[in-house]
Amino acid sequence: MEKVKVYQLMDLIEDIKRVNAMIVLHSDNPSTFMLEQYKIKKEKLMGYLIDELVAPEVRSPKSFAIIKEIIEKFYPNASKEAQADKTHDELNEIQHALAV
């Protein structure tokens, strides 16, 4: 991977950290408009980062481990939220397949 790409991904991680801080800041606000906007932004940035880390030129056990770390850092309650999510039946089926 080129150094430029490494720096771009590091900048992307910093962007996610800033958006995450804004989510925390707005989580106590009774109006959820800004909170939802920041959550959408975070999801887009996370998706882009993960896409870059699974690109053929960097795809490896190391990139998968980094993705796992990223998810654990920025979605610490992912397991609980996933269990509560009843809107994605097709993903529930995939999750069930993993458990078997």
Note the pLDDT tens digit of each residue in 26-44.
998 888 999 999 999 999 9
The pLDDT value given to residue 92: 79
* Selection from 76, 65, 63 nearest residue 20 by Cα: 76
pTM: 0.85
Report how far residue 72's alpha carbon sits from residue 87's, in angstroms, rounded to the nearest whole number. 22
Total structural domains in the chain?
1
Domain extent at residue 79? 3-99
Say which amino acid occupies 70. Answer: I
Residue 92 CB burial class (10 angstroms; 0-12, 13-18, ≥19): middle
Report how far residue 18's alpha carbon sits from residue 88's, in angstroms, rounded to the nearest whole number. 28
